[in-house]
Amino acid sequence: MPARHFCNSVTPCGSRCSMPPAAAFLARSNSRSWRTPKARRGVGRPAARPFMSTPSGALEMALARARRARRQFECSALPSPPVSHVPVVVIGAGPVGLAAALDLRRHGIACVVLEKHGGVGNGSRAICWAKRSLEICDRLGVAAPMLAKGVTWNVGRVFAGAVAEPLYTFDLAPAEGQKFPAFINLQQYYVEEYLLDALALGDSPVRWQHAASALAPRPDGVEITVSTPLGEYRLHCDYLIAADGSRSTVRELMGLAFEGRTFEDNFLIADVRMRAAFSAERRFYFNAPFNEGRTALMHQQPDDIWRLDFQLGWDIDRQAALQEEQVARRVRALLGPAQKFDYEWVSLYTFQCRRLQKFVHGRVIFAGDAAHLVSPFGARGGNGGVQDVDNLGWKLALVLRGTAGPSLLASYDQERVYAADENLRHSTQSTDFMTPKSPQETAFRDAALALARDHPFARGLVNSGRLSLPSRLRDSALTTPDCDHFKGALQPGDAGLDAPLVAASGARWLLEVLGGDFTCLYFVGELAPAAVRARLPAQVRLVAMSRDFRADACQDPSGVLAARYDATPGTTYLIRPDQHVAARWREFHATPLATALARATGH
């Protein structure tokens, strides 16, 4: 790549570098970073579009494109009769609402999705999907296309100031022998399309351009007045899931308010389409000289699209910041004047770290951005919303089937408010570090950055966004504490760990065979699997594991699975439908398992 003039950045040896930061680091990378995205991902590209370094009117075109629907739908017909009943209504056809509908269908619960808009938007919005979300989406049947299309990444590089080399590098790659990577980058509209395609295979319809205009909560459910371009109708449901985003209509109709912090910093997203040889890594810049000493973020998406995120500051002229010459100036300062690009999506945003005081309000249950808002740094918004509905679906199904009481839904409130507070805490701490508000905070940040280059202990103080991890439910009322001694990191309440296995069904991974029901994971000991199965409650499946081949058990030939679960012959785990560990013992006994099951179902 030819050298590009820039702002006299300094190399680690003290010499001046005439290249922009992204190109300067690329020039020092090994040859593997020069692989094209197509060769790296093994997926095709859409037809090529022209790339421009000085696109005339391209920004206006990108903004107009973002306002249009990527996939458009006509207004859905009015139901007949005009007053009808459905067990669950989901408000909102974003990733959270669609995932909720798919999960409910998987549990045999009929639902209807109401969406006030008429299609899938063009804006990329959420792009970073964590391993835990991929595991959940695998149970919903959409992880395969997500993984095929998405850009896999594990490595992040943190830069500071004008130095071209990274301050430090981190690798989030999970331990060997797991189905999914740490993260993929994939535009939200692809995720929505895959979920819609899966939903279209069943009987959980999405009603487009159908907006909830009034709610009447009742002891036995909720009556919804639905407004459409074709007229109004009423819909009664046993439970309503509000997944209608940060500007939730349901939240407004119920007069509910968020609590928490609002941040005044403005940020600019510029998704640009370009052919570049950068590797698929997360690049975060502190004190970026190409951005007036503020922060910046660079991340790859599919289709040769790159997410560029620039901190702009507090008191800005927002209209001026969206002018093409201002956006282009920032993009070229990062990429260099020779890099050709086209605008895909441009947006200004501020953010909040706030939530509802509680997520369950009678028969109305909030999930995703309708329940909680976090900063985008750390990818905790979309991933947190997917975990919300994974926690909710099986509980709602048990309540609707009458095998658990409504009190089980109180555990959704407990567990997901706890998770939201964890996400809010991490997001707030990240934002405070990245955008210090006082001389003391600035001094602390600069000292941490200065130390981190040569002293690994200080790297834990540098906060460019603590990335999304599954919530640990160790203190949940549904979790049975250990009565036996176990070693290792895994504890009751944690999300189950994946591992390779050999199964008669052809499944290759533990989380595939655990599925979405209560499951007894039994490491074969003195009792044969058939004897264990005969003593299990009817709603609990058995997955038997053996190091050696036997017809009545899955095989763990490498021993990795037993090691991750610290299992010896006879070790027994009770796994929840969302694949969190409910309880575990060194030997199988029917009575403690039945007691733990009752606890895990709210009895």
Which pLDDT does position 469 carry in this prediction? 77
Question: Average model confidence (pLDDT) for the chain?
Answer: 86
Residue 262's pLDDT is 86
Distance, in Å, from the CA atom of 37 to the CA atom of 156, rounded to the nearest integer, reads: 17
Residues 309 and 238 in one domain: no
- Please count the structural domains in the chain: 3
Say if residue 215 is in the same domain as residue 319. no
Q: Which tens digit of pLDDT belongs to each residue from 505-541?
A: 999 999 999 988 999 999 999 999 999 999 999 999 9
Q: How confident is the model at residue 52 (pLDDT cuts 50, 70, 90)?
A: very low
Residues 101, 237 within the same domain: yes
Give yes or no for residue 65 having a pLDDT over 90: no
Ramachandran region, residue 568 (left: φ > 0; alpha: ψ -120 to 50; beta: rest): beta
> pLDDT digits over 401-423, tens only?
999 999 899 999 999 999 999 88
Listed residues 385, 418, 434: the one ending a domain: 434
Considering just the CA atoms, what is the radius of gyration of the chain in Å?
A: 25
Mean local confidence (pLDDT), 337-365: 92
- The percentage of the chain sitting over the pLDDT mark of 90, rounded to a whole number, equals 62
Residues 296, 360, single domain; the answer is: no
Of the pLDDT bands very low, low, confident and very high (cuts 50, 70, 90), residue 54 is: very low
Listed range (25-39, 57-71, 345-359) with the worst mean pLDDT: 25-39
Residues 97 and 50 in one domain: no
pLDDT at residue 172 is higher than 90: no
Predicted pLDDT of residue 84? 87
Those residues with Cβ within 8 angstroms of residue 101's Cβ, 6 or more apart along the chain or in another chain: 90, 111, 113, 199, 204, 206
Q: What number is the average pLDDT over the span 556-574? A: 96
Let me know whether 213 and 132 are in one domain: yes
pLDDT for 4 beyond 80: no
CA distances from 132 to 352, 468, 508, 538 (A): 24, 9, 18, 28
Could you tell me if residue 463 is inside a domain?
A: no
List Cβ neighbours of 536 (8 Å cut-off, separation of 6 or more): 520, 542, 590, 593
Q: Is the dihedral of CA 199, 201, 204, 206 positive or negative?
A: positive
Pick the range with the lowest mean pLDDT from 8-12, 314-318, 415-419: 8-12
DSSP H or E segment with residue 265: strand 259-273
For the chain, the distance separating the N- and C-terminal CA atoms, rounded to the nearest angstrom, is 65
CA pair distance 345, 268, nearest whole angstrom: 11
Residue at 466 is within a domain: no
Q: Above 80 in pLDDT, residue 71?
A: no
Residues 497 and 582 in one domain: yes
Residue 361 shares a structural domain with residue 213? yes
Q: Look at 285 and 14; give whichever has higher pLDDT.
A: 285
Range of the domain at 477: 472-603
Phi, psi angle pair for 186, to nearest 5°:
-155, 130
Listed in sequence order, the residues at least 6 apart from 455 whose beta carbon sits closer than 8 Å to its beta carbon are none
Q: What is the pLDDT of residues 503-514, one digit of tens each?
A: 999 999 999 999
Mean pLDDT over 70-98 rounds to 88
For residue 253, pLDDT beyond 70: yes
What is the per-residue pLDDT across 180-208, written as a single tens digit (0 to 9) for each? 999 999 999 999 999 999 998 877 789 99
Of the chain, the percentage scoring pLDDT greater than 70 comes to 88
Which of 330, 325, 339, 324 lies closest to 267 in space, CA to CA?
A: 330
Domain boundary among 352, 368, 387: 352
Domain boundary among 414, 434, 454: 434
**What does the pLDDT read at residue 56?**
42
In a domain, 176, yes or no: no
| Tens digits of residue pLDDT in 136-168 | 999 999 999 999 999 999 899 999 988 888 898
